[in-house]
Structure 1
Amino acid sequence: MDDRAWLAQRFEEQRPRLRAVAYRMLGSVSEADDAVQEAWLRLSRSDPSAVENLGAWLTTVVARVALNLLRSRAQRREEPLDVHVPDPIVSRESGLDPEHEAVLADSVGLALLVVLETLTPAERLAFVLHDMFGVPFEEIAPMIERTPAAARQLASRARRRVRGRAPAPDPDLARQRAVVDAFFAAARNGDFDGLVAVLDPDVVLRSDGGTRRTRLSVVYRGASTVAEQAITFGRLSPFARPALVNGAAGVVVAAQGRPLSVMGFTVTDGRIVAIDVLSDPDRLARLDLAVLDD
């Protein structure tokens, strides 16, 4: 095996972790893949013999690329988006494939990614690298040009926001599915009380329609309000196909093979606490929706 083939093999061993880091940092599947590809390009142009710890080196590269993308993203926006649902990762209900499983380890649900979107780029990097991947603050600090103590403070601040706003889903997937099925049955039948029964009183529904469906970019709060909306769109219930959305019970709404939306649910203590809907046709077209091939 020549040196380049050996280097490519070592890189492929690291790819699942690198994609996981990039996805948590960016909330975008395509941008995460771009960040990983950039890490490979930089590695292929470097002297691998000078790299003492390849995994740490590649993680640093991907994190720096993602940080720059986040900063560029913030600078491009004159006004913050009212609603932005990160890219969901959709799998068949039978289970995650190995590639998705690696990216979604530690239950990275859409509700968590939505909260991560509210962090500053530096907070997000410190929290993701330290709390999710165990990178020491001494290694994080140079990436954001801060001291280790300052990096620790950033992660702590981010952690408080995540704990307060990103509910942990029930670990029992079958229980999640039962609650989601009950939600759609009630919506289909126009059963307002049935909907309220499966919704947490403080449930949040976030819908991202993108630039072409701005009327669908809305946030609804409270069981009664969300139940009313569910009944309004109850006619779409027959087109909802069960799927795993970021490893949790969700659906792909599709008609005649064309995806209309992806809906991710966060179920806690037997009730739905968050519903995240992506109905942006441009972004839906870029997702891997192999679940529709069944």
Structure 2
Amino acid sequence: MTTPPEPGHPGPDPGLSAIMSERRRLINLAYRLLGSLADAEDVVQETYARWYAMSRQQQDAIDSPGAWLCKVASRICLNLLSSARARRETYVGEWIPEPLPEPTEWTDARPGGDPADRVTLDESINMAFLVVLESMTPAERVAFILHDVFRYPFAEVAEIVGRTPAACRQLASSARRRLRAARTPATPPSRQARIVRDFKQAWEAGDIDALITLLDPDATATSDGGGLVSTALHPVEGAEQILRSLVHLESRLRNLTLVERMVNGQPGLIAQEDGVTVTVYAFEVAGDRIKHIWAIRNPDKLRPWTSAPQP
């Protein structure tokens, strides 16, 4: 992001490099807090706008610009999270966090994309983790992400959240309980990749028996079209119901190409039509079976995938 000289600033900002070096950290923080790359970019833009709205004297009085930027970005996110709940009540269908491809793929997919916009992929970014974050209160989510993921002390978290350090400790503890309750036993990445590959091949072949063995009996499938494309408005529960949905989609699958891709750092699939990604599938695997499928079809959430490498 280039920042034009501000009125009242006598010349180039000697601290510009240091300030802009915080951009990637802010993008990473805001995406984890909001589950949306588009919203994260807006938050970072607004954060820098507030920095450059200050006079040089005001900027120089700040001991740690990086900490100041993080605090401002976090507060903006907290406000957005509070309003997001009301917005998502009117969202058509289910809301799923925005899926991310591998960083090496998404930079080329976004014209003029800045490498600083890339989100570091770790376990705090996988789809199952982000979906649990959505069930938290805004204060729980902010306290947990700032402390447990970004290692901010509770005294600093308290300044951002507007609670006491003890209250923030309780918020983070509550968030951890939610995550533990939803967590499934870890499956090695190689096994996850094999199961997703088997699912892809069975779906393409219309192999009902293979599909039913790959799905957990209590599996769920959730779709997000944002009201912009036709999709199931509610989660599909149970392996047999999911199987019926997959069979229903089989005719449409003939016009699509399924490609194995990493989705939020874990094995997933994308469906392409004439080289354009129209659906991203993320999976939660428990043992040797698929526990959850998330299908993101909302075009607004597929921007980083539009020009991903072809198979």
Unaligned runs of at least 5 residues, structure 2: 1-9, 108-114
Q: Do the aligned partners of 2:23 and 2:117 also contact (CA within 8 Å) in 1?
A: no
Residue 30 of structure 2 corresponds to residue 22 of structure 1 = yes
After TM superposition, the structure 1 = structure 2 runs for residues 79-228 of structure 1, keeping only pairs within 5 Å, are: 83-91=94-102, 102-167=119-184, 170-172=187-189, 174-213=190-229, 215-228=231-244
**Change over 3 Å in CA distance of 1:70–1:264 after alignment to 2:** same
Structure number with higher helix proportion: 1
TM-score norm. by structure 1 comes to 0.87
Q: Do the aligned partners of 1:17 and 1:103 also contact (CA within 8 Å) in 2?
A: no
Q: Deviations over 1:208-266 (max 9, x none)?
A: 11123354233122333223322332342751122211111112211113332111122
* Structure 2 match to 1:280: 298
Q: Do the aligned partners of 1:201 and 1:223 also contact (CA within 8 Å) in 2?
A: yes
TM-score norm. by structure 2 comes to 0.83
Unaligned runs of at least 5 residues, structure 1: none
Question: What's the C-alpha RMSD, in Å, of the aligned pairs?
Answer: 2.7
Shift of 1:273: 2.0
Task: Please state whether the residue corresponding to 1:6 is helix, strand or coil.
Answer: coil
* Structure 2 match to 1:51: 62
**Change over 3 Å in CA distance of 1:293–1:191 after alignment to 2:** closer
Residue 277 of structure 2 corresponds to residue 259 of structure 1 = yes
**Change over 3 Å in CA distance of 1:76–1:274 after alignment to 2:** closer
CA distance in 2, matches of 1:258, 1:102: 22
CA distance in 1, matches of 2:186, 2:257: 25
Shift of 1:293: 5.2
CA distance in 2, matches of 1:101, 1:193: 40
CA distance in 2, matches of 1:274, 1:126: 27
CA distance in 2, matches of 1:119, 1:10: 33
* Structure 2 match to 1:38: 46
Q: Do the aligned partners of 1:123 and 1:158 also contact (CA within 8 Å) in 2?
A: yes
Count of residue pairs brought into register by the alignment:
290
Counterpart residue identity of residue 149, structure 1: A
Q: Do the aligned partners of 1:96 and 1:247 also contact (CA within 8 Å) in 2?
A: no
Residue 286 of structure 2 corresponds to residue 268 of structure 1 = yes
